[in-house]
């Protein structure tokens, strides 16, 4: 026995029932849990920003740029967990040059590029172009040139041109909403299209992923808004929180309903795989599904948000409640990703047994690596907020 | 009235054109030559997959030297069993001729792989022996010639 | 285009069209144009290979003949340099034991390489049988469908193969195979699976597992050849594939497959 296989022998000894011999090692670990979590945050944050822009929700104005920059920071990192889990990461470029048209994963590369290049970057660029030109004129030295390069050398800030920035930005936003839906629905499709895995294979998967994405993105923006205001020593506008909270409440209801329907359908149809899935959710997934995802991530936030709709508590208490709710929801959505990705690999495709999974701390597929990819976007966001501060933007009259 | 084209739009179009062209040119050089020759894969991979060295020589290779065993085997119930089932991979032995390069399994457990009792074995698929009762302490090949198992050794 | 003599005006249009086509063709010859052309060819797949001169392989496993000796699993590992550890198998054998109380016990200790000990006493057994497993070489293969880069494919002979030099190790194919036939090779760090001993087929040798099977429980053959042993067997026996509901187009047919088998 080579020490290299030590952990596999341990899992083999702990396997329950019968699993195919090749199933002992889990193929997708914590990095693939982090990947849909991050893309979900992107899509959710963007959709919240679009609400303000397309549906003219004025109250959300203070969170608009923050939401966009948050989306960008996470999107820049979104593919990294994927690439770092490859066993041949140096060949990752092949996905772009010879994409297999029938593979969900291959087309994701293009969906991602479309969303990054055509939607997010462009929208932010149109938003900031006027300000960047002004900043480039004000600053000296390196920063002058940084802003100049960022404007792609278009220094025209005549009212007519600036008006076009707004017009084009609006068009991009309108295109962006379906794009954001597609981006995250597509991540759901990567799992939902695997017919070999009954825990994944449901046509509802893309939709469930989408709504949980919106839930997590909205919570994140709420959280980021509170943290940024706190750091900048600015007053947190509780009306903004109320408005976001209302959206969060409605989307959370939808998300909860959809996931509930999915489970009811499963239980009622009780197909071939039902017995093993019943054992899975009542056993190995009990904590992460019923406690973390259900109770902590959905039921408690739902009740809290419902209360906040009807009772107007003291402002300080409301703020604290929103703060806690947003964190709980994020934990809940993370658990949902865990339940899908890890849960789907714990039972054997023979439907007769379970393997087990233990996350390591170090190594390419360990907790530290996953934590790194989750923390990095926050660093990027801090940098972007420094480079493109929303609060220093040039005011434009409507 | 002259059509107004906003300057940021032309600049972006240029940037995208450069980006896409760059991508296509890079792609042109990165795609392997034989990709798409037969389907959405590297055609040369078919050759790669046909390359590996064989380890099992196939029983025709054995019979080229061991005609006697072929004749012996042909007379009894092991006639359909190929040499390498028991003797293991033989290509190395075929090339070297060294007897150390081929397995000569002995022991009750080895014969038991096929002949031990198991409820999953069909009665007529293989002759089953209760190893817990049958001539305990003796090696199968003390009495049976593995190439001609029903011709008992004296 | 019409061959009949045409009026002067028509000729003029033709010649100008020719001119236009000529210049268009020149343009298309530019590097970028060429890479576009090449890209569309790859994106849309090259046509499905329909080379009738090549065999189209299928496999039959006769459960009634399998005695669980493990020769196939052992030979497969030796022939294909699969690590001798109990986690990586291109082929393995399962023993199903249906007990009198209706419960099903499935075991595959070390893939069956070391043989099987009967774990349930005779008097409790309703029925018991061995099921050798290997790649089904599906014609509508889910693993090929999901490979993002085209590193796994259906060879012209209908053998599902892996391009070890091109596989990125994303493991999507491992997830997509409903039969558990794929794994990541711990040394090569790319996907690995049964190749039907493609390297042996090309040298006119039988796959290693079939070479060593003492009871002839496994056979392969040309599904296109209506007179082949394999097609004859399929005609004369009631065979079934695994998980027919998934429509994988499996080309591994089992004789005497019991309903407990997954």
3-state secondary structure B22-63: HHHHHHHHHCCCCECCCCCCECHHHHHHHCCCCCCCCHHHHH
Q: Report the DSSP beta bridge partners of residue C125.
A: C99
Interface with A, mutate which of C44, C170, C250 (most A CBs under 10 A):
C170
- Using CA atoms, how far apart are residues B24 and A200, in angstroms rounded to an integer? 35
Q: Report the DSSP beta bridge partners of residue C94.
A: C131
- Using CA atoms, how far apart are residues B105 and C99, in angstroms rounded to an integer? 35
Kindly determine whether residue A105 and residue C176, on different chains, have CB atoms separated by under 8 Å: no
Residues A346, A356: contact at Cβ < 8 Å? Answer: yes
Residue with tokens 């300080």: A316
Tell me the three state secondary structure of residue C121. Answer: coil
* Average pLDDT value over all residues in chain A: 92
Largest CA distance in chain A: 74
- Report the first-to-last Cα separation within chain C, whole angstroms: 60
Sign of CA dihedral A16, A19, A22, A25: negative
User: Which is nearest to C209 in space by CA: C126, C124, C111, C86?
Assistant: C111
The continuous run of DSSP H or E covering C239 comes out as strand C239-240
CA of B40 vs chain C CAs: smallest distance (Å): 5
Q: What is the CA radius of gyration of chain B?
A: 32
Query: Which of C107, C169, C180 is opposite residue A349, by nearest beta carbon?
Result: C180
Q: Are strands C252-255 and C57-62 parallel, antiparallel or unpaired?
A: parallel
Other Cβ atoms less than 10 A from the Cβ of A154: the count is: 19
Burial class of residue C194 (count of CB atoms within 10 Å of its CB; 0-12, 13-18, 19+)? buried
Interface with B, mutate which of C29, C35, C107 (most B CBs under 10 A):
C35
- The whole-number pLDDT of residue C205 equals 96
- List the 109-128 stretch of A: residues with Cβ below 8 A of C: 109
What subunits make at least 3 CB pairs under 8 angstroms with A? B, C
Query: Which of A97, A100, A101 is opposite residue B31, by nearest beta carbon?
Result: A97
Kindly determine whether residue C87 and residue A25, on different chains, have CB atoms separated by under 8 Å: yes
Interface with B, mutate which of A97, A128, A162 (most B CBs under 10 A):
A97
**At residue C37, does pLDDT exceed 90?**
no
Percent with pLDDT over 90 in chain A:
78
Kindly determine whether residue C179 and residue A349, on different chains, have CB atoms separated by under 8 Å: yes
Q: Are strands C91-99 and C104-107 parallel, antiparallel or unpaired?
A: antiparallel
Query: Which of A4, A21, A272 is opposite residue C92, by nearest beta carbon?
Result: A21
Reduced DSSP (H G I as helix, E B as strand, rest coil) percent helix, strand, coil of chain C, to 5: 30, 20, 50
Kindly determine whether residue A168 and residue B6, on different chains, have CB atoms separated by under 8 Å: yes
- List the 226-245 stretch of C: residues with Cβ below 8 A of B: none
- Using CA atoms, how far apart are residues A376 and A381, in angstroms rounded to an integer? 9
Q: Which residues of chain C are within 8 Å of residue B82 when distances are taken between CB atoms?
A: 211-212
- The whole-number pLDDT of residue C49 equals 47
For residue range C120-175, what is the model confidence (pLDDT) as tens digits? 999 999 999 999 999 999 999 999 999 999 999 999 999 999 999 999 999 999 99
The pLDDT tens digits along chain A (398 residues) read 456 788 888 888 888 999 999 999 889 999 999 999 999 999 999 999 988 888 888 899 889 999 999 999 999 999 999 999 999 999 999 999 999 999 999 988 899 999 998 899 999 999 999 999 999 999 988 999 999 999 998 988 999 999 999 999 999 999 999 988 888 888 999 999 999 999 999 999 999 999 999 999 999 999 999 999 999 999 999 999 999 999 999 999 999 999 999 999 999 999 999 999 999 999 999 999 999 999 999 999 999 999 998 887 789 999 999 999 999 999 999 999 999 999 999 999 999 999 988 887 777 778 899 999 999 999 999 999 999 999 998 876 54
Query: Which of B8, B26, B30 is opposite residue A154, by nearest beta carbon?
Result: B8
CA of B17 vs chain A CAs: smallest distance (Å): 13
- List the 69-88 stretch of A: residues with Cβ below 8 A of C: 82, 85-88
Q: How far is CA B73 from the centre of its chain?
A: 25
Label each residue of chain A as H, E or C. Answer: CCHHHHHHHHHHHHCEECCCHHHCCCCCCHHHHHHHHHHHHHHHHHHHHHHHHHCCCHHHHHHHHHHHHHHHHHHHHHCHHHHHHCCCHHHCCHHHHCCCCCCHHHHHHHHHHHHHHHHHHHHHHHHHHHHHHHHHHHCCHHHHHHHHHHCCCCCCCCHHHHHHHHHHHHHHHHHHHHHHHHHHHHHHHHHHCCCCCCCCCCCCHHHHHHHHHHHHHHHHHHHHHHHHHHHCCCCCCHHHHHHHHHHHHHHHHHHHHHHHHHHHHHHHHCCCCHHHHHHHHHCCCHHHHHHHHHHHHHHHHHHHHHHHHHCCCCHHHHHHHHHHHHHHHHHHHHHHHHHHHCHHHHECCCCCEECCCCCCCCCCCCHHHHHHHHHHHHHHHHHHHHHCCHHHCCCCCC
- The whole-number pLDDT of residue C43 equals 41
Kindly determine whether residue C145 and residue A5, on different chains, have CB atoms separated by under 8 Å: no
Helices (H), chain B: 7-30, 44-50, 59-63, 67-74, 83-87, 91-96, 108-115, 140-143
User: Which is nearest to C209 in space by CA: C158, C115, C109, C134?
Assistant: C134
**At residue B154, does pLDDT exceed 90?**
no
The verdict on C125 touching B (C-beta cutoff 8 Å) is yes
- The whole-number pLDDT of residue C48 equals 45
Residue with tokens 């040394």: C187
Reading the block at residue A47, the tokens are: 């959709």
Reading the block at residue C256, the tokens are: 């005497």
Nearest CA in chain C to B121: C67
CA of C205 vs chain A CAs: smallest distance (Å): 27
Reading the block at residue A331, the tokens are: 């934990």
What is the CATH topology of the domain spanning A29-389? Answer: Formate dehydrogenase/DMSO reductase fold (1.20.1630)
Residues C262, C93: contact at Cβ < 8 Å? Answer: no
Q: Are strands A16-17 and A353-354 parallel, antiparallel or unpaired?
A: antiparallel
What subunits make at least 3 CB pairs under 8 angstroms with C? A, B
Produce one character per residue of C238-259: b if its CB has 16 or more CB atoms within 10 Å, e if not.
Answer: ebebbbeebebbbbbbbbbbee
Tell me the three state secondary structure of residue C7. Answer: coil
- Using CA atoms, how far apart are residues A346 and B50, in angstroms rounded to an integer? 36
């Amino acid at each position: 026995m080579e020490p290299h296989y030590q952990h596999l022998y341990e899992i083999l000894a702990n396997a329950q029932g019968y699993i195919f011999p090749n199933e002992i090692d889990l193929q997708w670990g914590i990095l693939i849990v982090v990947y849909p979590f991050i893309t979900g945050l992107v899509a959710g944050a963007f959709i919240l920003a679009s609400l303000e822009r397309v549906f003219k929700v004025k109250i959300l104005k203070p969170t608009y740029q923050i939401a966009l920059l948050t989306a960008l920071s996470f999107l820049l990192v979104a593919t990294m967990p994927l690439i770092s889990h490859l066993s041949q990461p140096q060949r990752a470029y092949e996905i772009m040059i010879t994409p297999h048209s029938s593979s969900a994963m291959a087309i994701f590369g293009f969906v991602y590029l479309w969303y990054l290049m055509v939607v997010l970057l462009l929208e932010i660029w149109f938003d900031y172009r006027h300000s960047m030109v002004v900043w480039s004129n004000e600053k000296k030295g390196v920063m002058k040139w940084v802003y100049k390069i960022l404007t792609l050398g278009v220094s025209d800030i005549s009212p007519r041109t600036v008006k076009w920035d707004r017009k084009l930005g609006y068009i991009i936003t309108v295109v962006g909403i379906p794009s954001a839906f597609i981006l995250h629905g597509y991540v759901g499709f990567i799992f939902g299209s695997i017919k070999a895995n009954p825990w994944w294979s449901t046509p509802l998967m893309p939709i469930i992923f989408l709504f949980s994405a919106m839930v997590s993105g909205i919570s994140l923006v709420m959280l980021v808004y509170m943290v940024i205001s706190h750091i900048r020593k600015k007053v947190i506008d509780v009306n903004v929180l109320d408005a976001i909270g209302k959206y969060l409440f409605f989307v959370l209801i939808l998300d909860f309903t959809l996931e509930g329907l999915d489970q009811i359908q499963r239980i009622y149809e009780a197909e071939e795989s039902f017995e093993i899935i019943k054992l899975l959710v009542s056993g190995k997934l009990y904590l992460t599904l019923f406690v973390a995802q259900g109770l902590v991530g959905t039921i408690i936030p739902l009740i809290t948000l419902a209360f906040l709709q009807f009772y107007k508590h003291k402002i300080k208490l409301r703020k604290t409640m929103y703060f806690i709710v947003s964190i709980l929801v994020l934990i809940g959505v993370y658990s949902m990703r865990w339940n899908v990705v890890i849960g789907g690999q714990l039972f054997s495709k023979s439907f007769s047994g379970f393997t087990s999974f233990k996350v390591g701390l170090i190594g390419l597929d360990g907790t530290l690596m996953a934590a790194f990819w989750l923390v990095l976007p926050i660093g990027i966001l801090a940098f972007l907020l420094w480079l493109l501060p929303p609060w220093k933007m040039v005011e434009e009259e409507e | 009235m002259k059509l107004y084209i906003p300057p940021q739009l032309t600049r972006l179009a240029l940037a995208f054109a450069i980006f896409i062209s760059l991508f296509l040119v890079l792609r042109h050089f990165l795609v392997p030559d034989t990709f798409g020759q037969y389907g959405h894969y590297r055609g040369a991979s078919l050759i790669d997959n046909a390359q590996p060295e064989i380890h099992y020589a196939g029983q025709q290779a054995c019979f080229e030297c061991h005609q006697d065993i072929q004749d012996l085997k042909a007379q009894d119930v092991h006639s359909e069993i190929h040499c390498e089932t028991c003797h293991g991979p033989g290509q190395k032995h075929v090339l070297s001729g060294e007897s150390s390069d081929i397995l000569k399994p002995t022991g009750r457990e080895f014969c038991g792989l096929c002949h031990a009792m198991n409820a999953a074995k069909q009665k007529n698929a293989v002759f089953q022996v209760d190893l817990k009762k049958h001539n305990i302490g003796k090696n199968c090949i003390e009495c049976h010639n593995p190439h001609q198992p029903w011709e008992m050794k004296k | 285009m019409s061959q009949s003599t045409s009026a002067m005006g028509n000729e003029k249009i033709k010649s100008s069209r020719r001119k236009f086509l000529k210049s268009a063709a020149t343009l298309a010859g530019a590097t970028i144009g060429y890479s576009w052309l090449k890209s569309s060819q790859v994106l849309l797949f090259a046509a499905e290979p329909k080379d009738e001169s090549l065999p189209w392989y299928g496999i039959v496993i006769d459960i009634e003949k399998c005695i669980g000796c493990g020769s196939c699993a052992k030979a497969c590992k030796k022939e294909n340099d699969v690590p001798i550890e109990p986690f990586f198998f291109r082929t393995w054998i399962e023993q199903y034991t249906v007990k009198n109380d209706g419960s099903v016990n499935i075991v595959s200790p070390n893939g069956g390489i070391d043989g099987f000990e009967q774990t349930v006493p005779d008097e409790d057994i309703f029925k018991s049988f061995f099921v050798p497993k290997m790649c089904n070489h599906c014609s509508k293969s889910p693993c090929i469908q999901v490979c993002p880069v085209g590193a796994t494919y259906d060879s012209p002979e209908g053998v599902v193969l892996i391009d070890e030099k091109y596989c990125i190790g994303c493991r999507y194919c491992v997830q997509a195979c409903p039969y558990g036939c794929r794994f990541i090779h711990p040394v090569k760090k790319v996907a690995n699976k049964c190749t039907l001993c493609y390297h042996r087929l090309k040298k006119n040798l039988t796959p290693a597992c079939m070479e060593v099977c003492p009871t002839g429980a496994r056979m392969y053959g040309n599904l296109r050849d209506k007179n082949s042993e394999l097609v004859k067997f399929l005609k004369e026996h009631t065979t079934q594939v695994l998980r027919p509901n998934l429509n994988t187009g499996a080309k591994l047919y089992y004789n005497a497959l019991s309903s407990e088998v997954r």
